[in-house]
Structure 1
């Protein structure tokens, strides 16, 4: 495969960028990669660089140099900088999560397909039981609200729904209306 920039040398670097959900691939030779700022002239690759690349928000060496020139944000507790985190992939203390919150949000969105909140997983055999339990909790919250508002007839109907759900086996989860 030839370089997509100079069309003279074989491509030795394959760059994949995801911009607004669109995948863009670029296949370039080492010389064009140096000229465009993707790599430095004598840069050697290590597995550590590949893994820590997940934590770098910037896409090129030029952008990395610009970011280094900016004032580095540091954790107030352990004094770790975001650049230190990007190199090691580990935080120095629990306060680093708060200190680097602005940098972590885009990183987590990229790594976790846009999700930044952990919702957990439910074992398959417990799914129906937990679904039933959550529905009862939601109905109880509504029931308490209805009692506070002195809407007793509606509260009695909801109470009956809760009883009906409790009497059903967990595998038979069809919401009673």
Structure 2
């Protein structure tokens, strides 16, 4: 796809604007996009992505705190949560355990949950598939008990026990 402005260079900047269910697309090369910065600003397009601004926006703050107020340091690499906000990444794998409480709300806000609910590779997901099936059966069991369908509840209980034995 070529630039809609000059028709000479490949389009590398793609902007989409939807106003009142009317979609407007603009495909520009980087040179033409620079000359249309005021258009980009009117479309709320920010050309440089900043992980710092992204994470700060998710946490609902204008920026991360600059002072390490009650912010623990990672015992392994010495980074604190304020520094994480500054650079956008942790210093080591131990940081995830150290900053777990601060990360959970962030992950929940981005993903909607802190539990993985996506696809799992077949060869690695055998136990996980069984655990998910057990959870599904337990939900059905609670529903059957609420409805006083005790024969169905007994069948579900036996299925759950069989799957739990299979896990062990």
Fold shared by both chains (TM-score > 0.5): no
TM-score (normalised: structure 1)? 0.40
Question: Is the radius of gyration larger for structure 1 or structure 2?
Answer: 1
TM-score (normalised: structure 2)? 0.42
